[in-house]
Every structure is written in C-alpha cells, then in structure tokens.
Amino acid sequence: MPNSFATALGKALRCLVGASAAALLLSACGNIAVYSGAGGTTVEAKKVAALVYAQAPDAEIDTLPYSGGDLTNAIKRLRDRYPQLKPWLDQGVIGNTASGFVALRDTARREQVRELLRAENRDRALLHNQASKAVGHGGEDLDIWLPYASYSFGKEWIEQGQPGWWWLNESRQWVRK
C-alpha cells in the first residue's frame, strides 16, 4: 500500500510545477500580466484613477487587468461624472478620503452637491466591491478584503489628484495636497 503522504506530496509538487510552467509561459508572451490579491488591487487602483482623471476613452478602460460587467460600467460612470466633480474638488467644497470615497468639506454647500456625492460614492463602493471579487476575494473573504481595496483606491485618488485639492485622512482631518 503506497504511503498516502508521499502520494499527496507528489500530487502537490506536480500541481506546483504545472502552475509555475503556465505562469512562465504567460509571462513570455510579453503583453500578458498576471495579478492577484494585493498586487492586483494596487495595479487596478492606480490604473483606474489615472484613466478616470485623464478622461480615457472606453477602449482604454477595456484594457484594465480586471474589466467587464459591473466593474467596467462603474468605472465608465466615474469617468463620465468626473467633469461635474472636478469644479467642486477645485473649490475645496468636497475632497477625496483615505478610505476611497468623496466627502463634503464645505457644509454650507451640502444641497448643491448631495446627489453628486451620493452617485459618486455609490459607484466607488461598487468599484471596491467588484475589484475585490476580481482579484479573488469575493464570497466569505469580501468583508475582510474590502477595507484593503477601498484604502488602495483612496491612496490613488489622493496621490493622483491635483495640487490644492483637499483630502480627509484616517483621523478625520482635512489636509490640503
């Protein structure tokens, strides 16, 4: 009777060698990048913020590592809404948050931006959710992964934002970039 540990170890090694060979073959293609987990989330956040701020055409959005369905639709809505959001960011009425959303800074202007902020934050929440699922953290892992995803996107919205824009840090203090 064969040793069950040795049999299991042999299967695991064959699987590892097969997966390594597949990754090597994919990387040799040059145009294919394989991302997962934290790396995938970071890359997606960086690219999404850049495409939204640059008002990239649909064809560029479709080239994201994780695109399709609800994720692509949310990114396109964010991009299309950005021209309405930008003047409020420029004036300091609203700002990005470290947690990946937009927040009201000038409460006297609340009624003027309420619906805009609601729509933007709804799509950013969908973006965080769908991006988490795309990198393999859906289902039971989703609640655990969402904070990482939202802070990854928050970092990029802030870093790629324009000088003079305000952002809300983790201590709930407004900081000017």
Q: How do residues 52-79 score in pLDDT, each as one tens digit? A: 999 999 999 988 887 788 899 999 999 9
Answer yes or no: do 90 and 158 share one domain: yes
- The sheet that has 94-97: what strands, in order across it? 102-104, 94-97, 166-168, 174-176
Same domain for 6 and 48, yes or no, is no
Sequence-distant (6+) residues with CB within 8 A of 119 are 77, 81
Cα-Cα-Cα-Cα dihedral sign, residues 49, 53, 56, 58: positive
Q: Count CB neighbours of 13 within 10 A.
A: 10
88 and 26 part of one domain:
no
| pLDDT level of residue 29 (50, 70, 90 thresholds) | very low
Query: Is the pLDDT confidence value at 45 over 60?
Result: yes
Q: Are residues 141 and 172 in the same domain?
A: yes
Give pLDDT, residue 169.
96
Would the pLDDT of 136 be above 80? Answer: yes
Angle (CA) 159-161-166 rounded to 5° is: 95
| Global pTM value | 0.77
Q: Do both 87 and 17 map to the same domain?
A: no
> Does position 51 have pLDDT exceeding 70, yes or no?
yes
Task: Tell whether 44 and 98 lie within a shared domain.
Answer: yes
Q: Is the pLDDT confidence value at 24 over 60?
A: no
Task: For residues 67 and 80, state if they share a domain.
Answer: yes
Calculate Rg over the CA atoms of the chain: 20
Residue 29, Cβ density class (10 Å: 0-12 exposed, 13-18 middle, ≥19 buried): exposed
**Is 73 in the same domain as 149?**
yes
Question: Which pLDDT does position 72 carry in this prediction?
Answer: 92
Confidence of residue 162 (pLDDT cuts 50, 70, 90): very high
Q: How many domains does the chain have?
A: 2
Is 61 found in the same domain as 20? no
Write down the pLDDT at residue 30. 45
**pLDDT surpasses 80 at 87:** yes
Do 132 and 59 share a domain, yes or no?
A: yes
- Residue 3's pLDDT is 57
| Residue 89 pLDDT > 80 | yes
- The residues with which 90 forms a beta bridge, in sequence order, are none
User: Average pLDDT, stretch 157-177?
Assistant: 97
pLDDT value of position 7:
52
Predicted confidence band at 38 (pLDDT cuts at 50, 70, 90)?
low
CB contact burial 139-172 (16+ within 10 A = b; e otherwise)? eeeeeebbebbbbbbbbbbbebbeeebbbbeeee
pLDDT mean over 88-107: 98
Domain hosting 110: range is 37-176
Residues 16 and 58 in one domain: no
In the prediction, which pLDDT does 36 show?
47
Calculate helix-pair angle for 110-134, 142-159, nearest 10 degrees: 120
Residues 75 and 101 in one domain: yes
